[in-house]
Amino acid sequence: MTALRTPVIAGNWKMHHDPASTRLFFERFLALHAPRTDLTVIVFPPTISLEAARLVVGERADVQLGVQNVHWESAGAFTGEISADMAMAAGARYSLVGHSERRQLFGETDADVARKTRAVLAAGLTPVVCVGETLEERRAGRANDVVDRQLSQVLEAVLDASGLVIAYEPVWAIGTGETASPDDAQAMHASIRAQLASASNAAIPILYGGSVKPQNTATLLAQRDIDGVLVGGASVDPQSFAAICATDA
């Protein structure tokens, strides 16, 4: 990563940690992770555990919280959904948008992801927009086209791209133990960077996600266009997440 961008270490807990185990996680994690001004740490707990997280994290401004998903409307008859405004009011400052599990298991389309990104920005939260190709798409040589298409819809939907964070997560690397090679990840990040440059002059952080662990974080962060990591499985355990956050960036 270049000196211009502050590295981001983000933890996506998915459907792990109820409020009680969230408290335990943060008590342990905060004891292991001393504040660092050269790093942004973001944790995405399940929404039901956000308040528990907020209470333990308290004054630690170096640790930010986010939600994993929001609806694109700000209120209404959408049983089971939450809005970006509600997430903001509850203490979130970030929202994941378009995680591949949302796209694959819950049918989110590129258009949904674009609408959600707009709603998240309008609420004053920072969207972490997830893009990435499947194994089939990579094997067919379509990885760049797929990511380009996913990103284009978002860039068309927002007036100002400078508030975005992008996470490149190849679907085949998520929860599989497979990581994209640092070269492949760098190549995709460079292509995302070029696409973003056509929409904004801002230094938009691009995170890598997919089987990130304490052992591979340093190599990934050493790549020129990798500005941080989005960690799933290894973020659920306070020790491994603290080890990732201790990586020299």
* Active site residues per annotation: 99, 169
Residue placing its CB nearer to ligand PGA in the complex, 85 or 112: 112
Q: Which is nearer to ligand PGA, 97 or 234 (CB)?
A: 234
Residues in contact with ligand PGA by the rule CB under 6 A: 12, 169, 174-175, 209-212, 230-234
Residue with the shortest CB distance to ligand PGA = 232
Quote the least distance from Cβ 46 to ligand PGA, whole Å. Answer: 14
89, exposed or middle or buried, with CB in 10 Å at 0-12, 13-18, 19+? exposed
In sign, the C-alpha dihedral spanning 35, 11, 196, 98 is negative
Give kind and range of the element (H or E) at residue 242.
Answer: helix 238-245
State the minimum distance, in angstroms, from the CB of residue 73 to ligand PGA: 25
Do 51 and 63 meet the contact criterion of CB atoms below 8 Å apart? no
User: Closer CB to ligand PGA, residue 186 or residue 232?
Assistant: 232
- Minimum distance from residue 214 beta carbon to ligand PGA (Å): 12
DSSP per-residue codes, 158-208: -S-GGG-EEEE--GGGTTSS----HHHHHHHHHHHHHHHHTT-SS---EEE
Closest CB to ligand PGA among 72 and 168? 168
Q: CB of 222: closest distance to ligand PGA in angstroms?
A: 19
Q: Residue for token digits 């409307």? A: 73
